């Protein structure tokens, strides 16, 4: 593909990126609200596109994982002779218990959880696209060139990356990758569903069921370590590379080519001084405008930035003329202006949300 570029002197392209960044800072909550509503529509009304399919698959798998862990903890708490049917049901891999109860109660409408599912579905889409590009010969992934795990930071990241896909290379979200608050809500909801089953179906004494459910949930939650999450592991390794002077453009391009998307995002986040979530939102922009802005803000060289934008444009099915426009935009904007445009993402999430809420409230009061 040939792409024509200007000499970087024009301003309109840079202004396009700045306008995109400004609108993106306020549009994310609305998009998440729409996804939250849409994901929990009945099957007959839910859109059938791949992203929603992946999110539904991820949610079901995550709920099963948490339920299995709780059931494994619950079963030994009951006497097999006194409650044989309950113990058999808890031990059975075929008996669904919590899932149908949760579906009827419709209590998994968790905004933060849906945001994580959406991010994981986006990551899967992009990594799958990178694999298709490699298979088409546009890029070659050299497994032998993958960085070794000599550093503890990378060993932790490689371990986190290994649980992102099952043996059929379908996407998976592990409970270890959940923030503590999200996991707490999910675990207690599943525990409540299991308690309902024990009391309503198995006629277990409510006090006994409560004690067992709480003990099982607390055991699972006490073992949770947010430092094991892939985003945390990626940020630690990226900081390690940055401290060693190795978080350069070559490392960025290499991470993307190898399909190590969490690391690709983390390298940009560390260089920009923003968190992983903010960098992820920019990197996954389907129009690649926010990605172009971020690359400019962190000083990625033109050749490397063009290669990255080319690859992400291919993944997102962006037309050639739109790609050329984005590359021109990237080169047109001054690095200082790009840095100022991403400054809001350097602020604390709560502070940024409060400012947006305040601005909306003041606007409504006029």
Res 72: pLDDT = 98
Q: Residue 188 CB: number of other CB atoms within 10 A? A: 15
Is residue 3 a part of any domain in this protein? no
Question: Average pLDDT over the chain, rounded to whole?
Answer: 85
In a domain? residue 133: yes
Task: Report whether pLDDT(189) > 60.
Answer: yes
Please state, in angstroms and rounded to a whole number, the distance separating the CA atoms of residues 281 and 283.
Answer: 6
Mean pLDDT of 321-333: 90
**Residue 179 resides in a domain:** yes
User: Looking at residue 260, what is its pLDDT?
Assistant: 94
In a domain, 32, yes or no: no
Q: Per-residue pLDDT tens for 32-91?
A: 454 444 545 444 434 347 878 899 999 999 999 999 999 999 999 999 999 999 999 999
Q: Where does the pLDDT of residue 321 fall: very low under 50, low under 70, confident under 90, or very high at 90 and above?
A: very high
Q: How many CB atoms lie within 10 A of CB 157?
A: 26
- Residue 12 pLDDT > 50, yes or no? yes
Name the residue among 235, 150, 230, 221 with its Cα closest to residue 185: 221
CA-to-CA distance for 234 and 201, rounded, in angstroms?
45
Residue 171 in 3-state DSSP?
strand
User: Could you give the number of structural domains in the chain?
Assistant: 1
Q: Could you tell me if residue 363 is inside a domain? A: no
127-170 pLDDT, tens digit per residue, is 998 888 766 554 433 443 344 444 788 889 989 999 998 888 88
Answer yes or no: is 261 within a domain.
Answer: no
What are 268-306's pLDDT values in tens digits? Answer: 999 999 999 999 999 999 999 999 999 999 999 999 999
Residue 329 lies in a domain: no
Q: What is the structure's pLDDT at 150? A: 45
How many C-beta neighbours within 10 Å does residue 242 have?
Answer: 16
Residue 167 domain flag? yes
The pTM of the full predicted model, rounded to 2 decimals, is 0.81
Domain hosting 61: range is 50-227
């Amino acid at each position: 593909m040939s792409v024509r570029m200007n000499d970087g002197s024009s301003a309109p392209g840079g202004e396009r990126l700045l306008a995109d960044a400004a609108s993106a800072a306020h549009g994310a909550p609305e998009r998440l609200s729409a996804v939250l509503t849409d994901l929990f529509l009945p099957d007959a009304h839910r859109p059938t596109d791949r992203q929603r399919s992946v999110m539904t698959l991820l949610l079901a798998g995550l709920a099963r994982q948490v339920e299995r862990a709780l059931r494994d903890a619950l079963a030994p708490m009951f006497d097999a002779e006194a409650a044989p049917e309950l113990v058999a049901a808890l031990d059975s891999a075929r008996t669904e218990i919590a899932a149908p109860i949760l579906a009827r109660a419709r209590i998994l409408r968790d905004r933060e959880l849906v945001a994580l599912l959406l991010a994981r579905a986006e990551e899967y889409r992009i990594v799958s696209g990178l694999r298709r590009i490699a298979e088409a010969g546009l890029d070659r992934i050299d497994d032998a060139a993958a960085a070794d795990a000599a550093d503890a930071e990378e060993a932790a990241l490689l371990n986190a990356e290994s649980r992102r896909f099952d043996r059929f290379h379908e996407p998976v979200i592990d409970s270890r990758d959940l923030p503590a608050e999200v996991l707490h809500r999910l675990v207690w909801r599943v525990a409540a569903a299991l308690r309902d089953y024990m009391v309503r179906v198995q006629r277990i004494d409510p006090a006994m069921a409560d004690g067992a459910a709480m003990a099982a949930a607390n055991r699972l939650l006490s073992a949770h370590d947010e430092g094991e999450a892939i985003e945390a592991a990626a940020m630690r390794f990226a900081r390690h590379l940055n401290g060693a002077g190795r978080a350069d453009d070559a490392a960025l391009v290499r991470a993307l080519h190898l399909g190590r998307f969490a690391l690709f995002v983390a390298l940009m986040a560390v260089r920009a001084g923003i968190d992983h979530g903010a960098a992820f939102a920019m990197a996954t922009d389907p129009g690649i405008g926010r990605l172009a802005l971020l690359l400019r803000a962190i000083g990625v060289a033109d050749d490397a930035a063009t290669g990255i934008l080319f690859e992400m444009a291919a993944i997102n099915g962006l037309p050639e003329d739109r790609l050329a426009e984005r590359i021109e935009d990237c080169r047109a904007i001054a690095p200082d202006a790009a840095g100022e445009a991403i400054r809001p993402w350097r602020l604390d999430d709560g502070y940024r949300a409060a400012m947006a809420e305040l601005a909306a409230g003041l606007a409504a009061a006029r």
